[in-house]
Amino acid sequence: MKYRTIFLSDIHLGTPGCQADLLLDFLNGHDADSYYLVGDIVDAWRIRRKGFLWPQAHNDVVQAILAKAQKGAQIFLIPGNHDEFLRSYPGTHFGGIEVLRTADFTSHDGKRYLVTHGDQFDAVVTNARWLAHLGDRAYEFMLWLNTWVNRVRHVWGGQYWSLSKWAKHQVKQAVNFISEYENVLSAEARRGGYDGVICGHIHSAAIREINGISYVNTGDWVESCTAVAERDDGRLVLLDWERSTRERRHRLRRIRRARTKTLEKV
């Protein structure tokens, strides 16, 4: 599938929760003229805390991105809070990837978007970094627990289920935080004269209008495995690769069962 632009964020390479295999599958099946990596591509927080974790699949993701740059795609990296060390190198190019603090993106239909990771507008990250790190550890524990929950569900034939995503939509404080975050980012885009904002950070994918401003969150590649893509007409769409993969596998299982039944009848 070919798009004008693809936006990815919150991959968290270097962590056990990174869905590198799914991302590699996505990159192999999708091409674009430009890519925006909207922060938290590498999780330096986790690496500093627990040491270097870099499976082959994580290296394959990096190589796939670099290969796209070598083939002529423009790739821009806007660092987030987990890879904030890269913010010291704005304008730097490596392997065909350009580092930017924020980006000004204009879609094919003429709309201007502020592209930013979004942690700068998270009061917890900016004003209480110790609490942000504590929350990061709690989130990591929830992902670990989620792995065991899904192993049990798999034994009983259940589909993948995200415990952390469920918690975000059930806990009132989390729902309120997400809503406030969306409002703050939309207001910032309006102040800057933009038509919309494209961000990440909170691992909650969305494309919606907020008081006349397009709020676009790319989601993540830990829980939901989502990306945002610009079509030829300039329209931005949300790509849910985890759901697409699940539906594709379900269709293949149905086809196999149908073939098996046909062979049994023969």
Sheet of 206-210, strands arranged across: 103-106, 112-115, 196-199, 213-217, 206-210
Query: Residue 130 class from Cβ within 10 Å (0-12 exposed, 13-18 middle, 19+ buried)?
Result: exposed
CA proximity to 206, closest of 227, 232, 233 = 227
Residue 154 banded pLDDT, cuts 50, 70, 90: very low
Per-residue model confidence as pLDDT tens digits over 235-245 = 999 999 988 88
Count of CB atoms situated within 10 Å of the CB of 44: 18
Contact 203, 38 (CB under 8 A): no
Write out the H or E segment, with its range, that includes residue 80.
none
pLDDT at residue number 132 = 42
pLDDT at residue number 153 = 46
Contact 87, 170 (CB under 8 A): no
Residue 134 banded pLDDT, cuts 50, 70, 90: very low
Architecture category of domain 2-265 in CATH: 4-Layer Sandwich (3.60)
**Which residues face 236 on adjacent strands?**
230
CA distance 61 to 27: 8
CA proximity to 103, closest of 264, 216, 202 = 216
What residues contact 86, with CB distance under 8 A and at least 6 apart? 77, 79, 99
Count of CB atoms situated within 10 Å of the CB of 132: 17
Contact 54, 24 (CB under 8 A): no
Per-residue model confidence as pLDDT tens digits over 68-96 = 999 999 999 999 999 999 999 999 999 99
CA distance 247 to 55: 27
Cα-to-chain-centroid distance, residue 52: 22
Amino acid at 116: T
Q: Which pTM was predicted?
A: 0.79
